[in-house]
Structure 1
Amino acid sequence: MDSVTRNDQKKPHVVFIPFPAQSHIKCMLKLAELLHHKGIHVTFINTRSNHKKLVESGGTPWLDDDSPGFVFKTVSDGPSSGAAEDGVEPVTPTMEEVWMHLANNFFDSFLDLVSGLKTPVTCIICDAFMTYTNTITAAEKLKIPIILFWTMAACGFMGFYQAKVLTDKGLLPLKDESYLTNGFLEMEIDWIPGMEGYRLKDLPEHMLATKMDDPGFKYLLKTAEAAHNVSYMIIHTFEELEARLVNEIKTIFPNVYTVGPLQLLLNQIKEKENKRTSLGCYSLWREEPECIQWLESKEPSSVVYVNFGSLAVMSLEDLIEFGWGLVNSGHEFLWIIRTDLVKGEPVVLPQELEEEMGKRGFIAKWCPQEDVLSQPSVGGFLTHGGWNSIIESLSVGLPMICWPYYGDQRTNCRQMCKKWEVGMEIGKNVKRDEVEKLVRLLMDGSEGKRMKEKATQWKKMAEMATSSNGSSSLDIEKLANLIINFS
């Protein structure tokens, strides 16, 4: 029986708990929308500051009178995140302040929030990186089933999971800081099918600590260990992309649902039900539609799209090197330069570079990324390697250049370059000559053509996975039915 038509006295009701960052919220909102289309009631929890941003940016245009049973609730992300008082706007807390505040306060706030909901909660879907706030303990106290959602690739999950594996093997934490430079990090991790050639240096950087009580290392270790404390896991990938790795994960965690690419699944709903679904929204920042108009005026496959995501920062020197590399490549480019992209100082470019960029480039602060990637004029993507960006690029068959910043981006970059064969990596120390060379290869060279052909193959695989009988479509239906059976 289809999950939409099942009539139960106790309506299935899922509470979503995202990690409070743009990419995590976007991914979880898409899954929430999909399950809502299956007839499941959704309560989505944001921090106050992020929900304010989401509403002000127009990040939920799809949520209107046609979406009953989908509500947002908020929790505090710090003492200064509430409403304005005496005409003074509250200060938006930093990510570090939010992280600490939630560690100390989320558990009690969550219990109070759930107790105040009119519809009983029958399931919790929690971002795997929010388990540090004791969400699993809360679920046990409330006697509500909990599912962990890894808003990343299977390789990204397995990379983080190595915090536990390598600690058990005695390889982490590192013996001392000399191990960071003596070649030890070149050691290959040879026990993961589907991640051949993966090295210690491809791990998230906080795992390469030298002390067991290092805060970042402790956080990642506890996050990895928490995966064993739940019965169900969701990963934002599709089996065809990471078949051997997904099978390996299922030998450790038997109840795994692969549900990507989520946007393609939403597109399936649009086609079947002839309803409007979102594309390029769920944003915490206002998206600038002018960049789409600019792209529409350009020749097919002529523009390089450049976006380093919502959290990556760089030095002004690196920004200038990227700028000159793009200008010298001879290609037009759309570059998203956030106001906080340069660490600790405003983005002030040399006048000559600014003038040259104005001739060939369009600069925006934020954009509807999936709309941009689907424009015929876009021929390649220079990215930080965040998973949302990669899976969105694969969904439209675009090759990439990757400059990984942190977290799973190192792992993603390794896989996209070596395993999926759709990308090239830029060195950590940015040089304009290297940027120019790689952009030319991406847009004009035989290497770029080969990567484009490979990316087109993955696009077809993604479309197959999200077709009516595809692996991701079937897993979404299984997930929806699991949740309904909880009620």
Structure 2
Amino acid sequence: MSFTIQAAEEHALPIVLLSPDIACMFFSALHFRTLFKKGLIPFNDKSYLTNGYLDTKVDCVPGLKNFRLKDLPDFIRITDQNDSMVEFFIEAANHFHRASAIVFNTYNELESDVLNALYYSMFSCLYTIGPLPSLLNQTPHSHLASLGSNLWKEDTKCLEWLESKEPESVVYVNFGSITVMTPDQLLEFAWGLANSKKPFLCIIRPDLDGTQPLKAFVPEFQCCVGHFLLIRPTNCRFICSEWEIGIEINTNVKRDEVENLINELMSGEKGKKMRQKVMELKKKTEKNTSPAGHSLMNLDKVIKEVMLKQY
């Protein structure tokens, strides 16, 4: 938020911007104005959401290879020239260059094209220090044990049930911290999971359904109330196309599709390859967040070169 930059400057304090999401989200925000200039947004009307226009290639932003409009944050899907959310991000992006450091919750191998575009054409004060939960595991200090990244109170009662299952045998279902779904979408997901005949841990947030209570069908399944992971369009692009560790599902979800995708992920060759890639990323993450890793060294640089610098 730009007012924090102004406040820091007035008090001669270092300005450190943290991007908790992937770097591509930050990079996209820098180019919202470009989308306006190229006439890609705003949409003429709401039919553009379903008529194939979202498949339009975004070739005006260096660093986003083979990106489509549908791969960008979904709040750019506007019909109003003066949309307040997009205006907010454009205004904020105008002030990013004033930061002493910009810190990303990622590491270089995950988003090399985007980070290179940021390094060489826009900013020189970038530091990749992620993933933050893995970085936190490196500290020996017990007083940090209570820290976490969850937006909802955790419920650990499900862990006993989970421990009773074989490794790699349980489907973990998580819809995010703020996602709201229709009753039909939830019902299709639920039946798809049930029909797959695979044991699953389904995390149900009390306000996931924006129209009615969920208790009508939750007891039919092995569920645990807790938190969800929201897969935004940009995250989906990286997960499915760049890192190849996930499969995209249509927003008009159907139970047969859910069932088929679960069976492919759990038992198919594609699922096996994805698990191998996940383990490769896990090793890279552990390397980057180890005491000699780039993420931990970059965090040390932020502290010594930025936070402790005299302004």
The CA deviation string for residues 225-271 of structure 1, in whole angstroms up to 9 with x for no partner, is 3323434211111111112221111121111011101122122223x
Cα separation, partners in 2 of 1:306 and 1:325, compared to 1, 3 Å: same
Pick from 156, 160, 179 the counterpart of residue 29 of structure 2: 160
Note the C-alpha offset of 1:167.
2.6
How is 1:380-459 mapped onto 2 (pairs within 5 angstroms)? 383-385=229-231, 409-459=232-282
Partner of 1:230: 99
Q: For structure 2, list consecutive stretches of 5 or more residues without a partner in the other structure.
A: none
Contact 2:34–2:60, Cα closer than 8 Å, also in 1 = no
**Counterpart secondary structure, 2:171:** strand
Note the C-alpha offset of 1:143.
2.9
Contact 1:212–1:218, Cα closer than 8 Å, also in 2 = no
- AA of the residue aligned to 2:295: S
**Equivalent-residue separation in structure 2 for 1:180 and 1:331 (angstroms):** 34
**Equivalent-residue separation in structure 2 for 1:180 and 1:290 (angstroms):** 41
- AA of the residue aligned to 1:304: V
Partner of 2:169: 302
Pick from 124, 133, 144 the counterpart of residue 254 of structure 1: 124
Note the C-alpha offset of 1:194.
5.2
**Counterpart secondary structure, 1:423:** coil
TM-score (norm 1): 0.59
**Do structure 1's residue 330 and structure 2's residue 197 form an aligned pair?**
yes
Q: For structure 1, list consecutive stretches of 5 or more residues without a partner in the other structure.
A: 1-129, 370-382, 386-408
Note the C-alpha offset of 1:175.
4.5
Partner of 1:292: 159
**Do structure 1's residue 267 and structure 2's residue 137 form an aligned pair?**
yes
**Equivalent-residue separation in structure 2 for 1:304 and 1:239 (angstroms):** 30
**Counterpart secondary structure, 1:335:** strand
Cα separation, partners in 2 of 1:179 and 1:313, compared to 1, 3 Å: closer
**Equivalent-residue separation in structure 2 for 1:293 and 1:194 (angstroms):** 45
- AA of the residue aligned to 2:235: N
Note the C-alpha offset of 1:221.
2.1
Note the C-alpha offset of 1:170.
4.1
Note the C-alpha offset of 1:178.
5.1
**Equivalent-residue separation in structure 1 for 2:288 and 2:62 (angstroms):** 21
**Counterpart secondary structure, 2:308:** helix
Partner of 1:40: none
Cα separation, partners in 2 of 1:279 and 1:430, compared to 1, 3 Å: farther
Note the C-alpha offset of 1:158.
1.9
More strand by share: 1
How is 1:275-286 mapped onto 2 (pairs within 5 angstroms)? 275=142, 277-278=144-145, 281=148, 283-286=150-153
Cα separation, partners in 2 of 1:140 and 1:169, compared to 1, 3 Å: farther
Q: Percent identity?
A: 41
**Equivalent-residue separation in structure 1 for 2:126 and 2:280 (angstroms):** 25
Note the C-alpha offset of 1:137.
2.3
**Equivalent-residue separation in structure 2 for 1:230 and 1:300 (angstroms):** 45
**Counterpart secondary structure, 1:287:** coil
CA RMSD of aligned residues (A): 2.3
**Counterpart secondary structure, 1:220:** helix
